Amino acid sequence: MTHFMERNLFAMNLNKNTNSYKAIDLFAGIGGIRLGFEKAFGNEIEFVFASEIDKYACETYYANFGEKPCGDITKIDENNIPPFDILLAGFPCQAFSVAGLRRGFEDTRGTLFFEIARILKYHKPGIVFLENVKGFKNHDKGTTFKVVEETLESLGYRVFSQVLNAKDFGVPQNRERIYIVGFLDHDVAFEFPKKKELDVSIKNCLEKKVDEKYYYTNKALFEKLKDSVVCQDTIYQWRRRYVRANKSMVCPTLTANMGTGGHNVPLVLDDTSIRKLTPRECLNFQGFSSNFKLPNIVDSQLYKQAGNSVSVPVVEKIAHMIKSLIKG
């Protein structure tokens, strides 16, 4: 039996009685997707490989998992990745410049999704889990999503997808994302988790003691904020010459541009004064636990990491659904 066949047979046969599933974490960021699966699977999942190109994200990943992700996935040969059962990826959204569709694997060349496709083609893991922004489904007039879906199908996967909002899964953030789950087993009838009523507020995510550097008191902008930022149950956003209140009692969608400077970080009013959210609070709004470690790097990178990450409780709910199917 060839080495290639051994890898395929290992990954294709998801044994329901196994004590552990092997997983890889691509475009890993700070490990939010991994964390969700670890919470759902417990000691029944083992991560054997991770890849992330951002050096600061790698520092945070290492601080929490004790592993430094490999770098640029485009420079890693698929045969150097250990055999695995589950592929996880929060991959970047790119348009597919193709004249037509239905060319499957070939349509992904030149995009970062190709890196996922080539690894799937070689290893044939039983399960693939992907996450992207809500607009991904209509990106490039729907071409991007259609090519991804058809590529996964051409590689043998039965594909399920749905847009879910973090605020429907216990996180007070309005964050809609598309989740894509694929199974080599076509008999699987997968269902995404059902939403539930939110039973926490933004105050559950705010810190009690905050460094004075996050406050706008005694700063020039304070005069422009003080008459608009007036409610402690609201998250505010600065938009050039005005302040916009988020009246839904949840945090607006956190984005990576929080790390680009300016006034992109959401604002709150606490018992002291008007301030911006701290990096820790941003992670709280993503559902990360309080024991998730923040390395000693600049706030701009921590804000970027929080905005680029995932809602951990949503991933955990989906992972529980996956586990219940494969464990039977």
Catalytic residues: 93
The helix-helix angle for 299-308 and 55-65 (nearest 10°) equals 80
Smallest CA-to-CA distance from 170 within 24, 324, 69, 312 is with 312
CA 250 to centroid of chain Cα atoms = 19
Phi, psi of 178, rounded to the nearest 5 degrees: -95, 135
Amino acid found at 61: Y
Q: Rounded CA gap, 239 and 222, in Å?
A: 14
Q: Rounded CA gap, 161 and 181, in Å?
A: 6
Cβ neighbours of 117 (radius 10 Å): 24
Smallest CA-to-CA distance from 89 within 75, 69, 60, 104 is with 69
What the block records as the tokens of 176 is 């809609």
3-state secondary structure of 103: coil
Largest CA distance in the chain: 73
